[in-house]
Amino acid sequence: MKTVKVILVFIVIFVILLSAFALIRWIDDDSMAPEIFVGIEFAYGNVDECKDLIDKVKDYTNLFVIGLPELTFNQTQLNEICDYIRASGLHFIVMFTNPLVYSYYHPYVWIKKAVEKYGENFLGVYYYDEPGGKQLDKNSGRMVVEAENYSEAAKIYVDYLYGHIEYYLYSGVKVFTSDYGLYWFDFKSGYNVVLAQFGWNHSRQLSIALCRGAASVQNKEWGVIITWTFMHPPYIGSGEELFNDLVLAYKAGAKYFLIFSYPNITRYGTLTEEHFEALEKFWSYVKHNSREYGVYRGDVGYILPKDFGFGFRNVNDTIWGLWDGGELSKKIWRDVVTLFEKYGHHLDIVYEDEIFDQVIKMRYRIRIFWNETFLSES
């Protein structure tokens, strides 16, 4: 009897220890890590410099963006880089430009072959940078030069931008861009992924609320790209600022995390050792903090008027780059400031749109309309 009790005690202890070990493994299991992509956009230099940067970051990233269209003009050169990226164990995105400038091959055909050759390593195409920003700043390449009203501006923007990107959409791969405004309308134009630019002194919180909200409602994907903070060297912020930006986006549920490197003021573009250390630190953070992913869930929706293309960079920003904001913009700006104080990073900013009204109703536990109507799901 005594022997049986001793055996039972040992069995209980063994089960407890085994359970504790399993729990520790479960908590720290890399397999629990979310499916996200972390890396660099290479936008300077030549093939050798591209390979040099890949070698530098391949152990603590899983994505590399060929962000220099000139490297795609020579198909042999492009293949060499893509082969090298895959051999390094990374996924990649290729930035193409206007398909009409390719004299010696068709990007569409290359993309189709790349899907077969590289499989899941090839994530898609980056095309037509900052369409919303160009519109708001009245830059060359903007979609809308004049319009009678907001709805006409929205229709022209969506239709014309779709016309620009449809060549690459037809290839069947994901089409990416990055922007600093009008994310909702970028997605409506057909983009699969929009990266919110974290740069200058623009509000990260606003960028997340607008880009994440648009992606969530339209069933698309979003991410962030760390861009310039200054118009002069060192161009980008410190390593600490970089790490904090990446962690914020991680907690907000972004899927893509990129750092823009241009021009080549160092061996690795704008990146220095403190930036690489921050990136490696973030890579480790992701592996050991899977439960932190998406903790800032966007479950409160502030709903703007239909087609209200306000820039949201400051209270006096324009609408569609065509009209002054007026009192409505100021009222909406005050609303957003107040809602951020109350709901923090849980706030999304979306639009009235008959196509997505039902999705918005189901998506957000709290909905606050621009005209101060308040509805809550029971």
Element (H, E) at 132: helix 131-136
Range list of H helices, 218-258: 239-251
Does the pLDDT of residue 183 top 50, yes or no? yes
* pLDDT tier for residue 15 given thresholds of 50, 70 and 90: very low
8 A C-beta contact, residue 246 and residue 282: yes
Does the pLDDT of residue 23 top 50, yes or no? no
| Residue position matching structure tokens 């499989």 | 119
pLDDT digits (tens, 9 = 90+) for 110-121: 999 999 999 999
Domain 33-292 is in which class? alpha beta
Does the pLDDT of residue 272 top 70, yes or no? yes
Please tell me the predicted confidence (pLDDT) of residue 13: 56
* pLDDT tier for residue 1 given thresholds of 50, 70 and 90: low
What are the backbone dihedrals phi and psi of residue 11, each rounded to the nearest 5 degrees, phi first?
A: -65, -45
Task: Single out the residue of 172, 144, 173, 162 nearest to residue 322, CA to CA.
Answer: 144
8 A C-beta contact, residue 54 and residue 88: yes
Please tell me the predicted confidence (pLDDT) of residue 8: 52
Please tell me the predicted confidence (pLDDT) of residue 56: 99
Please tell me the predicted confidence (pLDDT) of residue 11: 55
pLDDT digits (tens, 9 = 90+) for 207-240: 999 999 999 999 999 999 999 999 999 999 999 9
Strand 63-66 to 91-95 pairing? parallel
**What is the overall mean pLDDT for the chain?**
93
The contacts of residue 283 (CB under 8 Å, 6+ apart) are 38, 60, 61
Distances in Å between the Cα of 92 and the Cα atoms of 95, 120, 190, 258, 267 are 10, 9, 21, 12, 21
* pLDDT tier for residue 310 given thresholds of 50, 70 and 90: very high
Q: What percent of the chain has pLDDT over 70?
A: 90
Query: Domain-by-domain residue ranges, the chain?
Result: 33-292, 300-376
pLDDT digits (tens, 9 = 90+) for 121-157: 999 999 999 999 999 999 999 999 999 999 999 999 9
154 CB burial (10 A radius; 0-12, 13-18, 19+): buried
Please tell me the predicted confidence (pLDDT) of residue 322: 98
Please tell me the predicted confidence (pLDDT) of residue 25: 46
Return the HEC string of 251-288: HCCCCEEEEEECCCCECEECECHHHHHHHHHHHHHHHH
* pLDDT tier for residue 372 given thresholds of 50, 70 and 90: confident
What average pLDDT does this structure show over 177-190? 99
Does the pLDDT of residue 24 top 50, yes or no? no
Please tell me the predicted confidence (pLDDT) of residue 16: 52
Please tell me the predicted confidence (pLDDT) of residue 373: 53
Please tell me the predicted confidence (pLDDT) of residue 2: 54
Does the pLDDT of residue 376 top 70, yes or no? no
SS3 content of the chain, % helix, strand, coil (to 5): 50, 20, 35
Q: Based on C-alpha coordinates, what's the Rg of the chain? A: 23
* pLDDT tier for residue 378 given thresholds of 50, 70 and 90: very low
Does the pLDDT of residue 177 top 70, yes or no? yes
Angle at 61 between CA 128 and CA 245, to 5 degrees: 70
Task: Single out the residue of 256, 249, 212 nearest to residue 35, CA to CA.
Answer: 256
